[in-house]
Amino acid sequence: MILSLTVYSFEGKSPKIADSAYVHDNATIIGDVLIGESCFVGAGAVIRGDYGRIEIGNRTSVQENVVIHARVDETCTMGSEVQVGHGAVLHNCKIQDYAVVGLGSRICDYAVVGRWAIIGEGSVVASGSTIPDEKVAVGVPARVLRDVNDEDKRTWGFYKQKYVELASRYKTGLRRI
């Protein structure tokens, strides 16, 4: 269920949203945006591909009130099976497959969050910095705290799957009353 009032073409560029993705009708998707299969985009999310391009891989959740934007003629990318927590801001950055971006975090220009990296709640990944693969980083600015372990992967894998399921359930079961 995608209502046309929240998905906008801009200067000839229109979002491309997989049929299996769920975009809440209170989210705003503008311009040069690609949203992959089985993604979840929550209420209040703003994905703005007006200056640059936004690419979101498959099975990724962009939760409520997340803001995603790119610089002029550049691309902000999220890989597949990424979880972006409520209220996070991603600006002109690269989030690799399986990463987790905690609630209220900020990922700034040209930052890279590695494969299976976990960014703690409220953290700021500063412009141009890199969080390596399979590391947990926290703080302002975010610093590596420890390695990602098997329990982290099990726990976050469970919640990522729940959002894939929720995307499917919302498409068929969510009704405005």
Residue 7 tokens read as 């998905």
Query: pLDDT (tens digit, 0 to 9) for every residue of the chain, 177 residues total?
Result: 444 458 999 999 999 999 999 999 999 999 999 999 999 999 999 999 999 999 999 999 999 999 999 999 999 999 999 999 999 999 999 999 999 999 999 999 999 999 999 999 999 999 999 999 999 999 999 999 999 999 999 999 999 999 999 999 988 887 778
* DSSP-assigned beta bridge partners for residue 69: 48, 91
81, two tokens? 């099976």
Q: Which domain holds residue 141?
A: 4-173
Taking the C-alpha atoms of residue 139 and residue 15, their distance in angstroms, rounded to an integer, is 34
The pLDDT value recorded for residue 176 is 77
Could you tell me which of 12, 15, 65, 53 has the C-alpha nearest to residue 35? 15
DSSP state at residue 27: S
The CATH number linked to 98 is 2.160.10.10
Please tell me the pTM assigned to this model: 0.94
pLDDT for res 4: 43
Q: How many structural domains is the chain composed of?
A: 1
Summarize pLDDT for 100-127 with one digit per residue, the tens.
Answer: 999 999 999 999 999 999 999 999 999 9
For the residues of 110-164, what is the DSSP string, one character each? Answer: T-EE-TT-EEPTT-EE-TT-EEPTTEEEETTTTEEEEE--HHHHHHHHHHHHHHH
CA distance 151 to 130: 23
d(CA 7, CA 85) in angstroms, rounded, equals 21
- pLDDT in the model for residue 175: 78
What integer pLDDT is reported at residue 171 of this predicted model?
A: 85
Cα torsion through 98, 146, 65, 96, rounded to 10? -30
